[in-house]
Structure formats: structure tokens, C-alpha cells
Structure 1
Amino acid sequence: MNWKTFFLGAAVGMISGYMTKEILCQNTNVTPEKVLGAVKKQFKQNGPISGSWIHMTSEPYEKNLITYNVYKGGISQNHQGLNEQFEFIADAKTGALLEVTPFSNEPSL
């Protein structure tokens, strides 16, 4: 066996493996569980969390003329004896929070 051929084949294999990994990482989303964990970690800084949920499938969302692929979810938090609820929208590609809004179950008049 020729050593030059062996090293050339090994180098091509390593480079193609690295390039494949980079391409796959660019096209994959953060798991919804990781996004929910990160959101819970942020909210825990302001008090205990009593409940949380997240949609397991991503969906398109437009904000400031930019279309994102997002996960939507919610958090319930006890704050000074009151149960506060929030809905959030997080980027599915990076996991970054795009929007957090307080949620009210009170009927509007």
C-alpha cells in the first residue's frame, strides 16, 4: 500500500466528515425541550415556576418583516402569592426568545 494514497484518503475522509457535520448543524433546530429549559431558567431568576408548556412542532412567525421558524409556549409563575402566566415565542434555530407577553384569563367586557 502506498502511504501517500492512504494519507490522502484519510484527509479527504476527515474533511468531508467535518463539512457534512457543519451542513447538518446549520439546518437543524434546537430541540423544544432545550428551548423550554432555557426559558424556565430565565424565569426562575424572578421566582418559582408552577407550570410550563411548549408546542413540540415549530411554525412560521413574522416579526419586523423577518420570517422566523418558532416554538410557542407558556410559563406559570408564582409572584408574591399571585399566579402569573406568560406566553413566549422562541426562535427554533437558535432558541432565542423573540417575544414574551403576559397572559390573562379574565374575560373582557
Structure 2
Amino acid sequence: MSWKKFAAGVGAGVAVTVLAKQQMDRSDLGLSAEKALKLVKKQASEMGTLEGSWVHMVTEKFETDNLVYNVYRGGVTLADEDGKIVAYDFNVDASTGTILSLEKQ
């Protein structure tokens, strides 16, 4: 085996290791804003017809019951059975996807 083939093998191994580490670091971040919004929309659709939605793309600190969470904040608008439009604000835990609050405005 020549040293060129050996060096190419080592280089490929290092490259794969770096790529795998980057992917694992990304997965540690938890949920994306889009996925958080999708979870809320699925849950909210049980309360009425979804008319609109929005979400902040960066996480914020949210404190409830003396616990601090990194959350995505956003809102949804729903039409109830009478056709009345109702707005809700939400906070979703960015790590787990748990809806921490859903408040009628």
C-alpha cells in the first residue's frame, strides 16, 4: 500500500467524523421553529378552523412556575363554530416541543 492511499483513507475518515459530529450537534438543538409551529397548528386545529399562524424563528427565555425554558413564541388564529375569529398566543419548549402556554387574546 502506498502512502498516498493511506493518506487518502485517513483524510476520508476525518471528513466523515467531522460531518457526523456536525450532524449530532445540530440534533442537540432540539426542535426547529417550523416543527414547533406544526405541532401547535395540529393541536389548535382541534379547537376550530385554522385561519393563520406565525412563529418567531429565534428562541426566547420564558419563565413559568420558577422554571426557565428556551421557547419559540408565536400565534394562531382560529375560526370557531360561529365563524368568529379568535387569536391565541403560544410558547413551545424548543427542546421537547411541549406547548407550555396557549392563551386566548
Per the normalisation by structure 1, the TM-score is 0.69
5+ residue gaps in structure 1?
Answer: 1-13, 104-109
Contact 2:30 2:96 in 1 (8 A): no
Pick which of 41-50 and 15-24 moved more. 15-24
One-letter code aligned to 2:52:
G
One-letter code aligned to 1:60:
K
Deviation at 1:65, TM superposition (A): 1.4
Whole-angstrom distance in 2 between the partners of 1:96 and 1:69: 11
Deviation at 1:71, TM superposition (A): 0.8
Aligned partner of 2:10 in structure 1 is none
Structure 1 residues 58 and 20, CA gap change in structure 2 (3 angstroms): closer
Deviation at 1:23, TM superposition (A): 5.2
Whole-angstrom distance in 2 between the partners of 1:20 and 1:76: 37
Deviation at 1:46, TM superposition (A): 2.4
Whole-angstrom distance in 2 between the partners of 1:97 and 1:64: 15
Contact 1:36 1:54 in 2 (8 A): yes
Q: State how many pairs are aligned.
A: 102
Aligned partner of 1:10 in structure 2 is none
Deviation at 1:52, TM superposition (A): 0.6
Contact 1:30 1:93 in 2 (8 A): no
Deviation at 1:24, TM superposition (A): 4.6
One-letter code aligned to 1:77:
L
Per the normalisation by structure 2, the TM-score is 0.71
Q: Over aligned residue pairs, what C-alpha RMSD do you find?
A: 2.5
Whole-angstrom distance in 2 between the partners of 1:16 and 1:52: 37
> Any idea what the Cα deviations from partners look like across 1:83-105, whole Å, max 9, x if unmatched?
111100111111210011100xx
